[in-house]
Amino acid sequence: MKTIRVGSRESKLAVIQSELVMDAIRASHPDVALELVTMKTTGDKILDRTLDKIGGKGLFVKELDAALLDGRADLTVHSCKDLPMEENPDIPLAGFSRREDPRDVLVLPEGVTELDKSKPIGCASARRAVQLKELFPDMETAPVRGNVLTRLRKLDEGQFSALVLAAAGLKRLGLEGRITRYFTVEEMIPAAGQGILALQARAGEDLSFLSQVLDEEGTLCARAERAFVRRLDGGCSSPIAAHAVLSGGEITITGLYVNEDGAAIRRTVTGPRDQGENLAETLADEIKEVCPCPEK
């Protein structure tokens, strides 16, 4: 019997997400044996600084990539929004899952019903912080690191008036009841790939066992959103967001870029669903013309 070793971060959410993938593989390919291999990544270890200060999203995948390359893992499962935008051709992305709820949500401390304006709203990204300033102009924001359960503990201990988290993570953890308010994707444009799981494997491997895991709509949306960010991120460290929606034969992509003055620029484009990546790059180029990225 073929054994597939599935690499995952060791957080509870990461393990749940990997197990969702493993359950789907078992259901469609009962002849495949599965083994979960968990590890702590650099991004999980360094919690006293924001990601942009310590090297970015790649710190959540470095150890998992190494495990793929040296054969300790055959498949790795990631939250798509945590992945760097550039792919290593030796360990390309095999595809993407069906999308869970892509929205961001507001979470108040246990038993609290109103925002305490004397404390900041905790959020883990500049993308969220910028959009929160528009929604709550009289509230401060502050960075919060750690996995979802760690952040919730900090919230309930009184360090923050509220948190902004991804709905998908809370739902997968069975914590949907903690959600106070859902932000629409227009109010708070999500991170590229939010709610989607990304699967990565060594180049040239037989991945037919993923036939019931990979999702066409999730893949089209994720690739379009990632293309938008990749196009803008070449020389920028500014907040960027992207969200794609499919309707019939069309894809609509909404992009957000924040200029050096802190102003949020939003643009939307619609076109054929199979042209998502090209449309996203064109949208990014339009935004660059309005607000060029500063040179590194």
Domain 1-97+196-213 - what CATH class? alpha beta
Cβ atoms within 10 Å of 134's Cβ, excluding its own: 10
162-217: per-residue pLDDT in tens? 999 999 999 999 999 999 999 999 999 999 999 999 999 999 999 999 999 999 99
| pLDDT score at 292 | 63
| Active centre residues (catalytic) | 82
CA dist 26 and 43 (Å) reads: 30
CATH code linked to domain 104-182? 3.40.190.10
Amino acid at 159: Q
CA dist 168 and 243 (Å) reads: 15
52-72: per-residue pLDDT in tens? 444 445 556 888 999 999 999
| pLDDT score at 169 | 96
Residue extents of the structural domains in the chain: 1-97+196-213, 104-182, 215-291
CA dihedral 165, 166, 167, 169 (to 10 degrees): -100
| pLDDT score at 19 | 97
CATH code linked to domain 215-291? 3.30.160.40
CA dist 127 and 81 (Å) reads: 12
| pLDDT score at 256 | 94
Percentage of residues of the chain with pLDDT beyond 90: 78
Specify whether the CB–CB gap between 203 and 90 falls below 8 A.
yes
131-177: per-residue pLDDT in tens? 999 999 999 999 998 889 999 999 999 999 999 999 999 999 999 99
215-291 matches 104-182 in CATH topology: no
Alpha helices in 143-275 (DSSP H): 148-156, 167-172, 216-232
Concatenate the DSSP letters of all residues of 71-138 into one string: TS-SEEEEEGGGS-SSPPTTS-EEEEPPP----EEEEPPTT--S--TTSPEEES-HHHHHHHHHH-TT
